[in-house]
Amino acid sequence: MYIVIAGAGRLGLILAKGLQEKKHQVCLIDKDKRLCNLLAREFDKIMVVCGDATFPDVLRDAQIEKANVTVAATSTDEDNIIFSYFAKELFGVKRTVSRVNNPKHTPLYKYMNVDNPVDSTSIIAGVIEEEASFSDVMTLLSIKKGRLSIVRVDIPENSPIANKSLKEIKLPSNSVLISVLRGPEIIIPSGSTTILAGDEVIATTLINTEEDLTKALIGKV
């Protein structure tokens, strides 16, 4: 794939290196001349274009019309929006991904038809919340606009399934236990796997059975 990234800051650079290692062709665009010179010398496999990525001429230099994907990774939201808009509207790039620096700016990304605004602040907030959470059930991932979710459940001492094997446990329909985390150990459970208090159980469930699943695993809602 050919990927054009606007903004060679920390994010842009990490992405460029990672994608290049996976054998993708990568082009980085940045305004900072000194940085561009440095990068061009250090990474001979990454194409570096020096210029303002919100100008069509600069994008032409980056051969953006050949890109399969563009990534807007500058620290300025209006620049990310205009870059993605040009990529799509002027150069026909199919997929435009963009970093959202300030979550309050997300609606404007949507009004300007950026395909995938990635709101890093909210994502990190979610991860931190998950790490710091004391609740027994945590949604790790929701798919299909939340209809299907993958949840993590901490099994308490008084759980109705503690010390029972999977065979003996009756789960609500539309729910599956997919793994058990016990300290450093990751167990892909089979019928004979016994659940212990203190285990973290990863399960997948539909939205309307999430409550039943919680009840089955920890005994209350």
Partner 1 sequence: MKYIIIIGCSRTGRVLARELADNHNVAVVDKNLKNLDALKEDFNGKKIWADALDVNTLEDAGIKEADAVFLLTGNDNLNVVVGKASRRKYGVKKVVLQVNDPVKKEIFKEEGLTIINKTDILSEVLKKCIL
Q: Which residues bind partner 1 (CB under 8 A)?
A: 54-57, 76-79, 81-82, 86, 90, 102, 104-105, 107-108, 111-112
**How far, rounded to the nearest angstrom, does the alpha carbon of residue 124 sit from its chain's CA centroid?**
10
8 or 53, CB closer to partner 1? Answer: 53
Say which DSSP state 66 is in.
G
CB 83 → partner 1: shortest distance, Å?
A: 9
12 or 189: CB nearest partner 1 = 12
Q: CB 76 → partner 1: shortest distance, Å? A: 8
Cα 168 versus chain centre, distance: 36
Neighbours of 123 (CB within 10 A): 12
Count CA atoms within 13 Å of residue 214 on its CB side: 17
Complex with partner 1: residue 81 or 97, whichever CB lies closer? 81
Closer residue to partner 1 in complex, CB, 106/179: 106
Q: How far is the CB of 92 from partner 1 (least distance, A)?
A: 14
How many Cα atoms within 13 Å fall on the side-chain side of residue 220? 5
How near is the Cβ of 50 to partner 1 at its closest, in Å?
18
Q: Which is nearer to partner 1, 56 or 92 (CB)?
A: 56
